[in-house]
């Protein structure tokens, strides 16, 4: 199940560096922004495998940094594992080779993606920042439209499964019964 992410304000954190590499997970951040902005996830004939909403977000980070004279780059990888939380040693090694030329790395992904980057860069002086905040899990229906457009319709998720709520309710009721019987026992003992 994908993770629902929201962008965070990061420009102020990055403006004291000379170079920033933006690294993104190619799944959850794109899906989250496309759903938040009610824009297509993919438009193959217009943007190939890129999500326009996400590309616009990256541009909104790069432009102000570059206007301040900060060199920026973008890094993502799809193979063999597209998910950053599941990068192989080879993917981590390729990323490390690219990131060595930068003072800071901005991670567009979940906490696990940020951990992957921190782990890959542990022997460097490169500072890692997380550019998106995890809001929870998401569920969506994928819709295909002509010509080769993919849209995502987000479904609200329950906070916890009904069975868990039932267990919590029953457990709380038992605790109230115990408390009530304890109070009754104390009252009975006190009246003797």
Please report, in tens digits, the pLDDT of each residue of the chain (192 residues total).
588 899 999 999 999 999 999 999 888 898 899 989 888 877 877 777 788 899 999 999 999 999 999 999 999 887 677 788 888 999 999 999 999 999 999 999 999 999 999 999 999 999 999 999 998 888 788 888 888 888 878 776 655 555 555 555 555 555 656 555 554 554 555 555
Residue tagged 């229906």 (tokens): 141
CATH number for the domain spanning 57: value is 3.40.50
Distance CA 101, CA 21 (A): 9
Nearest in space to 84 (alpha carbons), one of 114, 118, 61: 114
Does one domain contain both 143 and 164?
no
Does one domain contain both 108 and 138?
yes
Does one domain contain both 15 and 86?
yes
Residue 55 CB contacts under 8 Å (≥ 6 apart), including other chains: 47
Does one domain contain both 121 and 80?
yes
Q: At what angle do helices 28-36 and 52-67 cross, to 10 degrees?
A: 100
Does one domain contain both 22 and 60?
yes
Contact criterion met (CB below 8 Å) for 152 and 29: no
Distance CA 98, CA 53 (A): 25
3-class secondary-structure state, position 188: helix
- Token output for 97: 């080779």
Does one domain contain both 190 and 122?
no
What pLDDT shows up at residue 77?
81
Does one domain contain both 168 and 122?
no
Tally of domains within the chain: 2
Residue tagged 């003797």 (tokens): 192
Going by DSSP bridges, is the β-strand pair 149-155/139-145 parallel, antiparallel, or unpaired? antiparallel
Contact criterion met (CB below 8 Å) for 53 and 32: no
Nearest in space to 23 (alpha carbons), one of 98, 90, 133, 124: 98
For residue 122, what are the domain limits?
Answer: 3-155
What pLDDT shows up at residue 183?
47
Does one domain contain both 149 and 182?
no
């Amino acid at each position: 199940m994908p993770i629902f992410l929201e962008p965070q304000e990061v420009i102020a954190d990055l403006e004291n560096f000379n170079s920033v590499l933006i690294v993104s997970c190619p799944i959850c951040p794109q899906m989250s922004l496309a759903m938040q902005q009610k824009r297509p996830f993919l438009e193959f004939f217009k943007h190939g495998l890129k999500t326009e909403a996400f590309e616009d977000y990256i541009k909104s980070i790069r432009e102000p940094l570059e206007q301040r004279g900060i060199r920026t780059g973008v890094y993502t990888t799809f193979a063999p594992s597209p998910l950053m939380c599941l990068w192989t040693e080879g993917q981590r090694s390729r990323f490390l080779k690219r990131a060595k030329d930068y003072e800071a790395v901005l991670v567009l992904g979940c906490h696990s993606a940020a951990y992957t980057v921190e782990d890959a860069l542990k022997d460097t002086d490169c500072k890692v920042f997380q550019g998106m905040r995890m809001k929870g899990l998401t569920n969506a229906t994928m819709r295909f439209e002509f010509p080769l457009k993919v849209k995502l319709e987000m479904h609200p998720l329950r906070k916890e499964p009904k069975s868990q709520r039932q267990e919590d309710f029953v457990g709380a009721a038992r605790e109230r019964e115990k408390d009530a019987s304890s109070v009754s026992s104390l009252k009975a003992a006190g009246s003797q």
